[in-house]
Structure 1
Amino acid sequence: MPWIFIHQEEHIPMAKTPMDTPQLSCIQIAIALLLFTQVKSTTEETFALYPNSTLTNCIAGERSALLAFRAGLSDRANHLSSWKGDDCCRWKGVYCSKRTGHVVCLNLQGTQCGSGNGITQVLAGNISSSLLGLQHMRYLDLSCNEFDKIEVPEFMGYFHKLRYLDLSFSQFIGRIPPQLGNLSNLRYLNLDASYQSPGYFPPYSKDINWLSRLTSLEHLDMTGINLSTIVHWLPVVNMLPTLKVLRLSACQLRSSPDSLLLSNLTSLETLDLRGNDFHKRSTPNWFWDLTGLKHLDISFTGFYGPFPDEIGNMTSIVELELSGNNFVGMIPSSMKNLCNLEKLGYYRNNINGSIREFFRRLPSCSVNKLQLLYLPHCNLTGSLPTTLIEPLSNLTWLDLSDNKLTGHVPLWIGELTKLRTLYLNSNSLDGVMHEGHFSGLDMLKDLVLSDNFITITASSTWVPPFSLTMLHLRSCHLGPKFPTWLRWQTLVLSLDISNTSITDMIPDWFWTAASSVMALNIRNNQITGVLPSTMEFMSGEVMDFSSNQLGGPIPKLPINLTLLDLSRNNVVGPLPSDFGAPGLRTLLLYNNTISGAIPASLCKLRSLELLDLSRNNLNGSITDCLVNELSTNMTGLNIVNLSLRNNNLSGGFPSLLQKCPQLIFLDLEDNHFLGTLPAWIGEKLSSLSFLRLRSNMFYGHIPVELTKLVNLQFLDLAYNNLSGSIPRSMVNCTGMMQTRHISYNAFNSRFRLAENELVDYTENFMVLTKGEERLYTGEIIYMVNLDLSCNSLTGGIPTEISALVELKNLNLSWNNFNGKIPENIGSLLQVESLDLSHNYLSGKIPSGLSALTSLSRLNLSYNNLSGRIPSGNQLQTLEDQESIYIGNPGLCGPPLLRRCSSQPEPTPEHHENASDNTVSFFLGTGAGYVMGVWMVFCTFLFKRKWRACWYSLCDCLYDQVYVQVAATWASLRGKTNG
């Protein structure tokens, strides 16, 4: 059975892949069982099976039973099309005894089961009890089908002659029937439930005592069956003395006894307990005493402590899988006793020691047998040995990734002539790797050296001896020229040469060599050139060309493409009229010089989830093709994240968005959109969490319907011409009231380049907070923001705004708000930046502001606030405190120099009456003054004589005053001199 590893993943490998179950015919099964049980002779009826014999027709009753069975099935792949005619022994999957004609084997396994290419489940529906008519059946295989709404039938326990039963990967549900314990002749039982579709809940068993009656059982696989309620499972299993293979992985078991007083499991050769949660010390444990074990898998089971010395007693061991636990320390010297060791998996444990010491402790008696060393994330240190005492002549898989290795890669790597997989990525290896390091690697298929300091050099005429399917060299040094040896790697499926210091023009031969690549990453170089016109004929599924200097237009894309990242390049011209990739899910074109309008071809990308066209030269209005095209169709685009900011787009709020019900993130900042905000936003975009319309020309009121967006946590309408008041129903936006942030997936596109490497897209957002623009990347999902600044909003600040307790940034500056600051604004305990400046707010500053312990920036300047500034530890820690209150002449007290009056302040009622009288007085006086001046002005305007008389009178008065002042002044001077 091939070993399957979960490489570089955090999650527990909860189940085997279908590759663990080979696809066998009934004849192969019979032969396997014959060898497996070491039976010297058998009856003709048992093993003389025939599918095509003309000697004997099948039994009529059994034919009827098979037809009734087929009638209850859904055969989507027409798998049972041959089930017609009188001779059922000729039907596909049906095998009969040559001597009696009875059906003895029924093999209806789904196609590709165990092929490694996934499972094609072909049968579904009900399993009719008519199968009980096949009482001579020895072998029954219904694996790799889709019986996802039924339980394992109880009548399965009444095939008393059954020796082989395989119900794996068929998605049965409910309880495993204890009637299976009646199958006393059973030797092979496979109930593996690990291959699961979304929403599938595997079967369970609360009592496995029925297993103890299967005394002939040699192979038991209950992988993925829920056994969480069973504590004493081992005594039951111990009652199966002939058991050779036991697989109980991912069964939610929680107990592993220290020992067995009397072990009957002396025949056990394979033990698989991976993916359970024992969470106990590695020793003592009952399985260390099973010295006859050949295959032991206890990965991801929660064992901890030092590597057990008892492993040295398991001299028969061939495959040892200990990954995903918390074993600490160097492997013990007793490992030298394991002379049959071929495969060692130790992923994500803590050796915390020298790699050279580790190699010295490997059993020298089996070094030439070792096929697999799987040691990523083991905290191995130091440099690799320059020479090996014994050559690893049979090694096919070497994985030392994600450790702390330093130094050069030794030349003996090139002598591992059977090596197929080499992972050295994510270390601190340096130096040069040249042709000699690869000279003997004729069989190499996967080469991963990413995230080291390695320089790879080769002559321009070098032809590598290998033909790779995976090549990852991210952050190694390949440049400045494009490596010519890549032209010979024409079978690569995953290629990553990102950040490798290439500053060359991309050669034409590269596009030919990369035509079969499904995951292609050349990002973060200085590669020039243009995308080929033949790009549509490539096999690419994910392509990342970002952060280069590629120019030219965007050609028609590969038909299987799901992700394209061309951001931060020099791409020009309009967007294509035919993208050519109907399954495209992520399209990143930001930071280019793309011009023209957004074409109607965008509407054909129905699978598109993430679209970023920001920071280009797009213009015109956004197409509304979907509005008409889908007026009678409820489906639309699947866009979740849409960013069009920093373009020259115009027109009203895009009506196209009415057909984007999945939209979570919308950014239209810094364009020329205008008009009113439509009320349908609250209804059609009910999933919206992030809305930024900043720096446009929207006008009118903020629609009340906008507050129906209960998930809204980021609203930025700043720098528009909005008027009216803030809707009090803003409290409906529970996204600003509860700790429930936007899913990271809404902002982030991750696509797999290999089992261990992901390329991430996380947009960069500039958010005006704390008085300055701050850069947010992935953490934007935690930002709760309300920014309505630089509009013409009026009225008071509604007290309901204090209910938005998750706000981190509140900016209402540069509006026309009046009235008082809400007294309960101190409820905004999470707020970090609060800006209410440049309004007409009056009254006192609420004392509750001093309770905002998260506050790091406050701006209340240029209002009509008055009274004493509240004191508090938090307010006193803010920087540039005087600027917080400037432009409010009525404020007094620290940090201002203006002292507050010592007299008691008037009561609110008296203050209110005095204020009313003062206002009335000034209103009356001002009105009288204006009226008087206006009457005089009108009179002088129409009466010329009156004007002349008035000016003559003024001249006379002036002369009299002047004479009087001059005489008085002369008299005073005379007296002074005297």
Structure 2
Amino acid sequence: MRFLHFLWIFLTPFLQILLGNEIFLVSSQCLDDQKSLLLQLKGSFQYDSTLSNKLARWNQNRTECCNWDGVTCDLSGHVIALELDNQTISSGIENASALFRLQYLERLNLAYNKFNVSIPVGIGNLTNLKYLNLSNAGFVGQIPMILSRLTRLITLDLSTLFPDFDQPLKLENPNLSHFIENSTELRELYLDGVDLSAQGTEWCQSLSSYLPNLTVLSLRTCRISGPVDESLSNLHFLSIIHLDQNNLSTTVPEYFANFSNLISLTLSSCNLRGTFPERIFQVPVLESLDLSNNELLLGSIPIFLPNGSLRRIILSYTNFSGSLPDTISDLQNLSRFELSNCNFSGPIPSTMANLTNLAYLDLSFNNFTGSIPHFQRSKKLTHLDLSRNGLTGLLSRAHFEGLSELVYINLGDNSLNGTLPAYIFELPSLQQLFLNSNQFVGQVDEFRNASSSLLDTVDLRNNHLNGSIPKSTFEIGRLKVLSLSSNFFRGSCPSTSLGG
């Protein structure tokens, strides 16, 4: 009893603090001046009220504006965050003086709107901002220098998926160096689609000089050029590097393997050359690697270390070669593996059967030989493309049994033989099946149980199938394309619309 009494005396002050804070949070209210500014802001914006799920609900009659959708307040009732992304706002930002008077704002998100104007200089007055997201909002022209006054920024996102090439968002005067020289707190920088060509080859030096804490660097389609300078290695905390679709025309630095926090590295369509450093594959925390569309880039896939983190490996349209290591099975998180149009050879490791998270596999247009592994354990598999290789052997029920998520199978242009397994036509999610240009034999009666399936495309051309074409083949309701030419069938195709 004495112990309980002591415990109560000891805990009471903490409970009072906790309960007091909770009561304070519940009773805190948006200040009148903050509410007035929010209503003025709503009035200055032009937007589609039928599509807005936030602005349209801001209502004068709702006294507690801290509970309005997209609004967050601090304990004193000051607005500290506005999340107005995807609100179909088309104009009014240039006259939104109320926005620029929300001096306590720490977070502003206007992404995915349709402004089609320059970034307003008034945003530079919001000097408490730590997070600014203006991505894909239709802003054009020169990024104003006054934004460099936002020295507390931790995240800056000015990226765009579809830049306006007539009026691109750009950093020209000032250039990147002058723009970020006061942004030493910045950790995440997204400038995809922003024209940085005025920076020339000095972008690495600028980043490493002024942004020592940078963890995310995303500069896709920025018209930057190579080489990737050694100075970038000073950014020890980098975890994400996205430099796709820039004409870097350089080799991939070996020091990328020293970024111990590197989670994602994407360098597709960068005109890379030379040999890719194998050690990068073995960065313990690396989850995503995309080197696709670099036809001059050489390399091979090394032995993987146990407990690797890789989820996505995309090497399509490169000059990678060699064989796949059996240790591919150590990548238990691997979900997407794309090696199409490379120069790989040798067998596909049977250990791939152990990849239980595999969802997308494309090894097409290589020189793989031997048999197809069983994928029974890859229950998440939706896309399988092993076409244009030298694969041999039989297909059996065991190859695909239980793969209820498979939508696409392409095994065309190999040397597979034997009879077609009926089970493949009964996969419940399968929509497209390509088995053309192999050496399959026997009669086509495998459609008999496929009448309720989702199959809409079947290509069996250039095999050794024979017999009469069963009438049931043409009674599959969803079937749009059926190609059976260059076989040994008797009779004619009842419906030429199915491809004959």
Q: TM-score, normalised by structure 2?
A: 0.79
Partner of 1:133: 101
2:75 pairs, out of 99, 105, 128, with 99
Partner of 2:360: 397
3-state DSSP of counterpart to 1:75 = coil
- How far did 1:447 drift? 2.5
The 1:343–1:488 alpha-carbon spacing in structure 2 relative to 1, beyond 3 Å, is same
Partner of 1:589: none
3-state DSSP of counterpart to 2:286 = coil
Deviation track 1:83-107 (CA, whole Å, cap 9, x = no partner) reads 3324372775332426322222211
> Would you say 1:381 and 2:345 are equivalent positions?
yes
> Would you say 1:203 and 2:169 are equivalent positions?
yes
Structure 2: distance between partners of 1:62 and 1:442? 53
- Structure with more contact order per residue of length (Cα contacts < 8 Å, sep ≥ 6): 2
Residues paired across the two proteins, number: 459
Structure 1: distance between partners of 2:412 and 2:435? 4
Unaligned runs of 5+ in 2: 1-17
3-state DSSP of counterpart to 1:174 = coil
Deviation track 1:56-75 (CA, whole Å, cap 9, x = no partner) reads 24523542454345434232
Partner of 1:215: 184
Partner of 1:245: 216
Structure 1: distance between partners of 2:182 and 2:307? 35
1:522 pairs, out of 466, 469, 482, with 482
Structure 2: distance between partners of 1:469 and 1:346? 26
The 5 Å alignment of 1:62-211 reads 62-75=35-48, 77-79=50-52, 80-86=55-61, 87=63, 89=65, 93-97=69-73, 99-110=75-86, 122-127=88-93, 128-148=96-116, 150-195=117-162, 201-206=167-172, 207-209=175-177, 210-211=179-180
3-state DSSP of counterpart to 2:476 = helix
The 5 Å alignment of 1:480-559 reads 480-481=444-445, 483-490=447-454, 495-497=457-459, 499=461, 503-505=469-471, 507=473, 509-511=475-477, 513-514=478-479, 520-523=480-483, 525=485, 528-529=493-494, 545=497, 547-548=499-500
- How far did 1:241 drift? 2.4
- How far did 1:288 drift? 4.1
Unaligned runs of 5+ in 1: 1-42, 112-121, 515-519, 532-544, 549-978
Structure 1: distance between partners of 2:85 and 2:77? 22
Q: Which amino acid aligns with 2:450?
A: L
1:437 pairs, out of 385, 396, 399, with 399
Deviation track 1:477-529 (CA, whole Å, cap 9, x = no partner) reads 59634623433433x6x634363778443557511x45xxxxx4325648734
Deviation track 1:860-906 (CA, whole Å, cap 9, x = no partner) reads xxxxxxxxxxxxxxxxxxxxxxxxxxxxxxxxxxxxxxxxxxxxxxx
Conservation of the 8 A alpha-carbon contact between 2:35 and 2:65: no
Deviation track 1:402-423 (CA, whole Å, cap 9, x = no partner) reads 212344323x333434433322
Structure 1: distance between partners of 2:437 and 2:36? 65
1:255 pairs, out of 223, 226, 248, with 226
3-state DSSP of counterpart to 1:499 = coil
Partner of 1:297: 266
- Greater shift, 58-67 or 323-332, is seen at 58-67
- How far did 1:530 drift? 5.2
Conservation of the 8 A alpha-carbon contact between 2:447 and 2:472: no
The 1:96–1:319 alpha-carbon spacing in structure 2 relative to 1, beyond 3 Å, is closer
Structure 1: distance between partners of 2:107 and 2:24? 11
The 5 Å alignment of 1:816-855 reads none
Cα RMSD (Å): 3.6
Q: Which amino acid aligns with 2:162?
A: Y
- How far did 1:278 drift? 0.9
3-state DSSP of counterpart to 2:198 = coil
Q: Which amino acid aligns with 1:268?
A: L
The 1:225–1:455 alpha-carbon spacing in structure 2 relative to 1, beyond 3 Å, is farther
3-state DSSP of counterpart to 1:305 = strand
1:372 pairs, out of 316, 328, 336, with 336
Structure 1: distance between partners of 2:157 and 2:48? 23
Q: Which amino acid aligns with 1:327?
A: L
Structure 1: distance between partners of 2:355 and 2:400? 16
Deviation track 1:692-713 (CA, whole Å, cap 9, x = no partner) reads xxxxxxxxxxxxxxxxxxxxxx
Conservation of the 8 A alpha-carbon contact between 1:429 and 1:454: yes
Deviation track 1:433-480 (CA, whole Å, cap 9, x = no partner) reads 221211142443432334445458556688845523554445565963
3-state DSSP of counterpart to 1:152 = coil
Conservation of the 8 A alpha-carbon contact between 1:425 and 1:450: yes
Q: Which amino acid aligns with 1:324?
A: N
Structure 1: distance between partners of 2:424 and 2:241? 47
3-state DSSP of counterpart to 1:358 = coil
- How far did 1:324 drift? 1.8
- How far did 1:273 drift? 1.1
- Identical pairs, percent: 25
- How far did 1:259 drift? 1.2
Q: TM-score, normalised by structure 1?
A: 0.43
3-state DSSP of counterpart to 1:180 = helix
Structure 1: distance between partners of 2:352 and 2:475? 43
Conservation of the 8 A alpha-carbon contact between 1:228 and 1:252: yes
Structure 1: distance between partners of 2:38 and 2:361? 53
Structure 2: distance between partners of 1:191 and 1:488? 48
